[in-house]
Amino acid sequence: MMETIAWFEQTGISRWVREDFFAYFILLIFHAWGMALLVGGGMAIQLRVLGVARQTRLSRWTGLFPWMKLGALLAIVSGLGLLAGYPAKALTNWVFALKFVLLIGAAWLTANIAKVSFDKGVEPVTLVKLQAALALLMWIGAIACGKLLLYTNSMLLTTDVIFEAG
């Protein structure tokens, strides 16, 4: 795998993300916007399921899903760009994998909560609320993992390894 990553690091797109002054920061901005929409929307739905603003009809909160999907799209596209710049940094770090476990888990729980309890016309049962609380923690955990990627990486580029070995 490291050979493939080493090759990819020398491609034009990878070098552009690393070396262009604007590229990396524009990707970071879109990644933050995407996160705000996806995780912010997710947190809002979880709060509603837990009983905040309970006068709003639960079934109508599916109106947030397109915004969360837009956020996911922005985050994924910009995230792939960031990954292209420093593939070894992310792909050799288990925190990166954990981030996606948490994101997929939170999204799956949210979809499941909506499917099971949004159309019932009554407040969700305790089990569903526990799922919402778990999803809320998973969104927060995913943010934590994303930030920790800056501090837990063992290398920035594959050339770091070659340098250390030499």
Partner 1 sequence: MAYPQDNLLDPVAIVNFAIDTGIFDFAYSAWGWPIAEIVHFVGLCLLIGTVGVVDLRILGFMRGISLPALHKVVPFGVLGFVLNVASGTVFVASSPDQYLYNPAFQIKMVLIALAGVNMMLFYLTTAGKLKRMRPLAQAPRRARIFAGISLTSWILVIAFGRVITAFRPPAWFWCGWCG
Using CB under 8 A, list all residues that contact partner 1: 21, 25, 28-29, 32-33, 35-37, 39-44, 47-48, 52-57, 59-61, 63-64, 67, 139-140, 143-144, 146-148, 150-151
Q: Which is nearer to partner 1, 91 or 148 (CB)?
A: 148
Q: Which is nearer to partner 1, 52 or 127 (CB)?
A: 52
Residue 76 Cβ, how far from partner 1 at the closest point, in Å? 17
Question: Quick one: 10 exposed, middle or buried, by C-beta within 10 A (0-12, 13-18, 19+)?
Answer: exposed
Residue 3 Cβ, how far from partner 1 at the closest point, in Å? 32
Task: Tell me how far apart the alpha carbons of residues 129 and 137 are, in angstroms, rounded to a whole number.
Answer: 12
Percentages helix, strand, coil for the chain (3-state, rounded to 5) are 85, 0, 15
Nearest residue to 34 via CA among 66, 68, 64: 68
Residue 29 Cβ, how far from partner 1 at the closest point, in Å? 5
Length of the chain in terms of residues written: 166
Q: Which is nearer to partner 1, 105 or 161 (CB)?
A: 105
Residue 146 Cβ, how far from partner 1 at the closest point, in Å? 8
Task: Tell me how far apart the alpha carbons of residues 40 and 20 are, in angstroms, rounded to a whole number.
Answer: 30
Q: Which is nearer to partner 1, 16 or 67 (CB)?
A: 67
Residue 162 Cβ, how far from partner 1 at the closest point, in Å? 28
Give the three-state DSSP class for 54.
coil
Q: Which is nearer to partner 1, 6 or 44 (CB)?
A: 44
Structure tokens at 127: 């089990």
